[in-house]
Structure 1
Amino acid sequence: MSDYGSDDELFDDVNADDLLLAGSKRENSSDDDSVQHPNKRAKQSSTHGQYDDIARSILKRDFGYDDFRHEQASAIRAILQGENVLVVFPTGAGKSLCYQIPGVAFEELDAAGLTTRHSKTASIGAGITIVVSPLIALMKDQVDVLQRRGISAACLDSTKTYEEQRSINASMQEGRLRILYCAPERLNNEGFVESIKFVPGGIRLVAVDEAHCISEWGHSFRPDYLKVARFVDEIKAERVICLTATATPRVADDVRRAFNIKESNMFRTSPYRPNLQLHAEVIKTSEEKFPRLLKFLEKHDGPTLVYVTVQKQAEDLANHLSKLGHSTAAFHAGLPIERKIQTQDAFMAGDVRIVVATIAFGMGIDKADIRNILHYDVSSTIEEYSQQVGRAGRDGKPSFCMLFLCRDDFWLRESFVRGDLPSRQSLQKLLEEIFINQTKAKLPDGGEVIKLSQLVLGKDHDIRPNPLGIILATIELRFGLIRAITPEYSAYQYEAGDGYNARVKTDESSEAKAIVGHAKRARRWFTIDVNVAAKDAGLLRGDIVRKLNQFNDKGVIRLKASGVANRYKILKKLPETRKQVAEITDKLHAEMEAREKDAMKRFQAVCDLLTDSQCFARTLTRYFGMELPDGKSKCGHCTYCMTGKPVMLPPKPHRAVNMAGIREVLAACDVRDDPRFLARVAFGIKSPRVTQLKLDKKDVFGSLEDQDFESLLREFTKECESVGFDPDEKFS
């Protein structure tokens, strides 16, 4: 969820002139400890024991546990020593303790003299731990638990009121807040980034939850996560911990490189959970699913999560179950925040037995007695499947995980994959827009920057938001032409509060004078062009923004920022001709085609796991580069182990190309410059251009969803070529 335009900025009114940047980046120690002097090793061993004692004391006192599990103790010790760490634990294995305990421990370590602080502001406070987490529901749940345990924690999200924001900010300024949760999108908030640099005591730790999102080869790559590493450097965080439940060896290597984590500081445990019974059942047609679901629910009591693919499906299925007397609620990303919170709270309290949900539900849910996970549709990746079944049976008691495997579902999964790859010509025009047609602006350091509206770019070039973000990230990562820098709000408005005239208009600072001099008042709200104000006053834009934030936090104005402009600093000379752009287009499109094929393989891997002639649990564990414990070759209670036979999925039907259907699509749509666009219409895949032309409202939309997508693409390419379309157009 994006925090842009949500009016929930967090700003700090500590005077930047009185503080130097808090915290300092620590380098990881050498991998080779064997060359140390014996006395040094003995002293280090003693210090390790002190770290462990403090950590265990907090574990017992604040969290109520007697001892650590898995590799928790080793990971926490490394963090307390000031090193960067990667934790790969299965869902429910206690990853959050690996940053929550250090977040509490830093103050005690300082008091015991066990830390060497380089920050000039260390004496002001114990500093803060920032947790970058992807979901509001996850942050809310963990903060509620921490607060009940007496730990000062808060989360910044779009549900917070103005007064709640000010309260959180005051806690930070006064050194009372120990752990702050925020979404990765918040790191784009220039006010937040600027003011967090001046938190008293510095940033002791940044915890990156769901760290697999950093890797473009992870199952849920999110471009905003790429900015976390830069954020860590900008705020000079002392150390970093990355956490995930679903990192293949390739993804783990990507994360380690991004945050300079040495291999010996990667702590991982097997995803195998002996109390989980993994099962799959073939359903011939989608119509047979609901009766099977009812039969499953009759046999399996207890809290249950039913995972579906699309939002409407979640609501429809929940309504059907409720009408039949089942205690059921729906959960998906499209619901109002209040309803999502109510559903989560009701499920946690046991007031709702069944939640029918999309993948939006479950991350970070700390409910130990979930007895059943049912996948109404096949999962898109093994990582997704592993995460979701891992939410069952955290109390160690037997829990049942069933997946319905139905050929009818395969179209939907393929449509998600096929919808992300733009046509080559769409990509070419997009890159021309970025490299050739954008106006460049000067930066204070003498560099140049371009400003982009991703919303406008996606609409103009028929590219969905997620692949567009990945395209921009790939330009940055693969070609080194541009680098994303902090976006800026194009419009700042504020409403005068109590004491405005006395405190703002009498402020003699250059920043305050620039604000008063450039603010234009309408009825209630003042509007200020921050760029113009900074230029006229000979100040930096950040100076004006920081001063506005300070006034906001003191309550003398109520600040509102809107209109996000994504900014990219130009690192190298950009392409200037269509031919130069085409060379990048070819490489980038080839990479995106490879990513599409990889996504199709990921989905096929789920089917292979469930239809292979071996234990489900063993195949799942091997996917993540590990084996079952104690040399076991099978779990003994999955579908394969219990039947001795693989699950048999009916073969994919081979249908002749429906040429009549193709002619109907061509008759309803006069587009002939993009064969992939036509194939999407026939297959039922929405895109910005499909919506703009209202083709999703016509009967031909999705009329050929039972056809092979590649066959449709070939036929539509022939038709477009017959009227002059050239898919291999070269530019001079």
Structure 2
Amino acid sequence: MTDPQNIHSVLRDHFGHEEFQGFQEEVIRHVLDGGDALVILPTGGGKSLCYQLPALILPGMTVVLSPLIALMQDQVEALEAKGVRATCIHHGIVGQERKARMQGLEQGEYDLLYVTPERFRKPEFVELVRRLDISLLAVDEAHCMTSWGHDFRPEYGRVGHIREQLGCPPTIALTATARPQTQDRILDVLGIPDARRFLAGIERPELFLSARPIHSQEERLERIIEVIEGVGGPGIIYMTLIRSLTALEDELRQRGFDPWVYHGKLSAWERRTMQQEFQASKDGIVLATNAFGMGIDKPDIRFIIHGQIPGSLESYYQEVGRAGRDGRLALCELLYLEEDLATQQKFIEWANPAPEFVRGVVQILETWGEHAYAHSVEEIRDTLLLKNRGDGRVETTLGLLRSRDVVSGDFETGDLVLLRPLEVGEEYAIVSEEKKSRDLMRLLEMARWVRAETCRRVSLHECFGVASEPCGACDVCLGGSSIDLIKFRHHGGGGRNMPCDESGEAPPLRRGDWIRVGRRKLRVLKVDRGRRGWSVEAECSDSLEIRTIELERTRWFRL
């Protein structure tokens, strides 16, 4: 059994917290006792602590599989600032620095090692980790490992094999969103079907959910400006296409705004610098594709706009979950232009190449032979695609081929190699018509949610198999999908049960209530009870100033 005193001292000394959130402590105890676990916590719910804290107590090292290099680097830097012995290995670390880190691993200098699944394609790395004492495997963003998930990555499909390479240590898989069938598949891929599941509810009462039909690009722009001016930053505006981002950037700059732009075609330095600047900003606005946000831990994001419809409710929920982590009200609005559905349908086509396309890519690589590395994705695209040359089918196919050991390496790193020809009919096993059908159904479900006339939270929760009551605090509950910012800023938060203090006495106010003090109207953000009785933190409706009000010493009226 684990020592409770030791767990709490590590929490306090290394992470600066006095108490755990939700079921964090229960997960940590289970992991420290050698159990496997699947943890589903909303974005900002404290998933990382569930493996970071055990890593400081377990005798060996914890290996963390993470999908993004930038995310790994951010987490390692944050841990190092806390005095935690953590490192990461990726293709951006070369020469003496990589050699020093590899030696440090062998000499037991680290408690946590962050890597991408692709790193296990390197024989010298696999040989090294097999010699290490691995106490725990943590798989972050676990939904990526199965085609049942909304963000499937072929390399993540090999995680079960990676676990075997590490000697099948106790394993914890973590994600913000996973439907029941996705949960089952994650555990099957990992080879831990009996792992204990820790499932948090997906309730985020501080998020005001809204979906607004629009009929033109001009209407989209005007609404975005209205939200920026009416709500204020920090905020994130998601667009599906890079060209849509750049067009929106031009329009906003002409109107006097100075947004950052983030997408996958920027350099690593540009993306990292922009992310750091946004993290430090008080009112910055980011225009981004869905490449932005994973690993963002900024508590004061006041709005998230989806300028174009996302491909699934899972993606939508994960992205809006980045707002309002400080517990204050945040607007999450989706702008729905019907023609945007066609864009998402194209993405689904590109993410699910036909078997004939897969074989065509392999045939081109066979023609190039041992000099394939000297060519490029663009050359394959020019050969196979007469139009839509900007689509991602070639990249998707190479990823699928890499996951089945048909190719290794990459054009970008100059080491792409065709390892073997396809077996007869193998292309039909590589791609799945069933996955394409699931992706289309998820998009249809997203479109139905936008058009729904029932409470946003109720219909969202139904998709994840969670029962709930109408929230009283979304655009539908407060009067339909044309919700205006006045209703948003002045809504009371819905009919939630009022908590009691230790004596059983209910507080006179709750978060979201409106009060008047003198001539000022204020919205309650926080309710507390100390030696001098009940007090609240409240935001003034005109100046947005936050004041602390001692209720037993102030004349106030509920509105």
Q: Return the TM-score normalized by structure 1.
A: 0.59
Instruction: Give the secondary structure class of the aligned counterpart of 2:42.
Output: coil
Identity %: 31
Distance 1:488 1:328, change over 3 A: closer
Return the index of the structure with the highest Cα Rg.
Answer: 1
For residue 128 of structure 2, what is the amino acid of its counterpart? S
- The alignment status of 1:100 with 2:31, answered yes or no, reads no
2:129 to 184, 196, 202: 196
- What 5-or-longer segments of structure 2 have no aligned partner? 386-391, 484-559
2:208 corresponds, among 269, 273, 277, to 277
- CA drift of 1:165 comes to 2.2
Displacement of 1:593 in angstroms is 3.4
Closer, same or farther in 2 for the Cα pair 1:57/1:489, shift >3 Å? same
2:229 counterpart residue number: 298
**Quick one: which of 111, 132, 136 aligns to 1:205?**
136
* CA distances 1:292-344 after superposition (whole Å, capped 9, x unpaired): 11111111023101111122332332343344333420011110111111111
AA in 2 matched with 1:134? P
User: In the alignment, is the contact (CA less than 8 A) between 2:234 and 2:285 conserved in 1?
Assistant: yes
- Counterparts of residues 657-672 of structure 1 (less than 5 Å): none
Deviation at 1:568, TM superposition (A): 6.6
Matched residue, 1:636: 472
CA gap of 1:397–1:597, structure 2 versus 1, over 3 A, is same
| Secondary structure in structure 2 of the residue aligned to 1:106 | coil
SS across alignment from 1:338: helix
Q: For residues 25-174 of structure 1, what are the structure 2 equivalents within 5 Å?
A: 47-48=1-2, 50=3, 52-107=4-59, 127-160=60-93, 162-174=95-107
Question: Which residue identity does 2:65 align to in structure 1?
Answer: V
- How does 1:363-382 map onto structure 2 within 5 Å? 363-382=294-313
Give 2:437's aligned residue. Answer: 597
CA deviation string 1:382-439 (max 9, x = no partner): 11100000001111111110110111312211221233444564456668899x9999
Shift of 1:595: 2.7
Q: 1:327 to 1:459 in 2, by over 3 A?
A: closer
Q: Give the distance between the partners of 2:234 and 2:358, measured in 1 at CA.
A: 46
Counterpart of 2:471, as a letter, is C
1:565 pairs with one of 414, 417, 431: 417
**Residue in structure 1 matching 2:461, options 596, 621, 641:** 621
CA distance change for structure 1 residues 397 and 351 in 2, over 3 Å: closer, same or farther? closer
CA distance in structure 2 between the partners assigned to 1:264 and 1:234 by the alignment: 19
**Residues 284 and 569 (structure 1), Cα distance of their counterparts in 2 relative to 1, 3 Å cut:** closer
Aligned residue pairs total 471
Q: Judge conservation of contact 2:232–2:283 (CA < 8 Å) in 1.
A: no
Counterpart-to-counterpart distance in 1, 2:151 and 2:17: 33
Shift of 1:345: 0.6
Work out the CA distance in 1 between the residues paired with 2:138 and 2:407: 20
* Separation of aligned partners in 1, 2:313 and 2:251: 29
Shift of 1:161: 5.0
Deviation of 1:167 after TM superposition, in Å, equals 3.5
Partner deviation per Cα, 1:114-146 (whole Å, 9 max, x = no partner): xxxxxxxxxxxxx32111111122112211211
Pair 1:390-2:342 in alignment: no
Are 1:248 and 2:248 an aligned pair? no
Cα distance in 2, alignment partners of residues 626 and 278 from structure 1: 17
Asked if the contact 1:82–1:239 (Cα under 8 Å) also holds between the matched residues in 2, the reply is yes
Q: What residue is the counterpart of 1:411 in the other structure?
A: 342
In structure 2, C-alpha distance between the alignment counterparts of 1:385 and 1:242, rounded to whole Å: 21
Contact 1:454-1:468 within 8 A present in 2 as well: no
- How has the CA–CA distance of structure 1 residues 234 and 141 changed in structure 2, closer, same or farther, with 3 Å as cutoff? same
SS at match of 1:68: coil
- CA separation in 2, counterparts of 1:387 and 1:461? 35
Q: 1:677 corresponds to which residue?
A: none
Q: Deviations over 1:176-220 (max 9, x none)?
A: 211121222222222222222223xx1121211111111111111
Shift of 1:626: 1.7
Aligned Cα root-mean-square deviation (Å): 3.2
Rounded to whole Å, the distance in 2 between the matches of 1:310 and 1:194 is: 41
The residue identity in structure 2 corresponding to 1:624 is: F
Deviations 1:630-679 (A, max 9, x none): xxx111111111115799xxxxxxxxxxxxxxxxxxxxxxxxxxxxxxxx
Asked if 2 retains the 8 angstrom alpha-carbon contact of 1:80 and 1:102, the reply is yes
Per the alignment, residue 339 of structure 1 pairs with 270
Contact 2:138 2:172 in 1 (8 A): yes
Does residue 606 in structure 1 map to residue 446 in structure 2?
Answer: yes
1:654 counterpart residue number: none
Q: CA 1:432 to 1:147, structure 2 compared with 1: closer, same or farther past 3 Å?
A: closer
The answer to whether the 8 A contact 1:62-1:150 is kept is yes
1:458/1:468 contact within 8 Å kept: no
User: Aligned equivalents of 1:421 and 1:569: distance in 2?
Assistant: 21
Q: Which runs of 5+ in 1 are unaligned?
A: 1-46, 108-126, 440-450, 477-482, 491-560, 576-580, 648-732
Q: Distance in 1 between matches of 2:180 and 2:454?
A: 22
Question: 1:102 is matched by which residue type in structure 2?
Answer: P
Pair 321,437 (structure 1): closer, same or farther in 2 beyond 3 Å: closer
Deviation at 1:356, TM superposition (A): 0.7
Amino acid in structure 2 at the alignment position of 1:140? Q
Q: Report if aligned partners of 2:36, 2:195 keep a CA contact under 8 Å in 1.
A: no
Query: Does the C-alpha gap of structure 1 residues 643 and 471 become closer, same or farther in structure 2, counting only changes over 3 Å?
Result: same
Mapped contact 1:189–1:487 kept (Cα < 8 A): no
* Cα separation, 2, equivalents of 1:489 and 1:400: 41
2:476 maps to a residue whose letter is Y
Q: 2:405 aligns with which of 474, 484, 489?
A: 484
CA distance in 2, matches of 1:101, 1:623: 32
C-alpha distance in structure 1 between counterparts of 2:162 and 2:154, whole Å:
14
Distance 1:184 1:643, change over 3 A: same
Cα displacement string for residues 413-468 of structure 1 (whole angstroms, at most 9, x for unaligned residues): 1221233444564456668899x9999xxxxxxxxxxx9x9969877666823542
CA distance in 1, matches of 2:299, 2:9: 24
One-letter code aligned to 2:415: G
Q: Secondary structure at the match of 2:335?
A: strand
CA deviation after TM superposition for structure 1 residue 163, in Å = 3.9
Distance 1:161 1:426, change over 3 A: closer
Distance 1:228-1:568 versus aligned 2 partners, 3 A rule:
farther
Structure 2: distance between partners of 1:142 and 1:132: 12
In 2, the alpha carbon distance for the partners of 1:305 and 1:430 equals: 37
Report 1 or 2 for greater relative contact order, CA contacts < 8 Å, sequence distance ≥ 6.
1
Cα distance in structure 1, aligned partners of 2:163 and 2:57: 20
Secondary structure of the residue that 1:401 maps to in structure 2? Answer: strand
Aligned: 1:317 with 2:248: yes
CA contact (8 A) 2:212 2:481 kept: no
Shift of 1:75: 1.6
1:289 partner SS:
helix
CA contact (8 A) 1:141 1:365 kept: no
Corresponding position of 1:722: none
Query: How does the TM-score come out when normalised to structure 2?
Result: 0.77
Aligned 8 A contact 2:88 2:115 in 1: yes
CA change 1:238–1:280 in 2 (3 A) is same
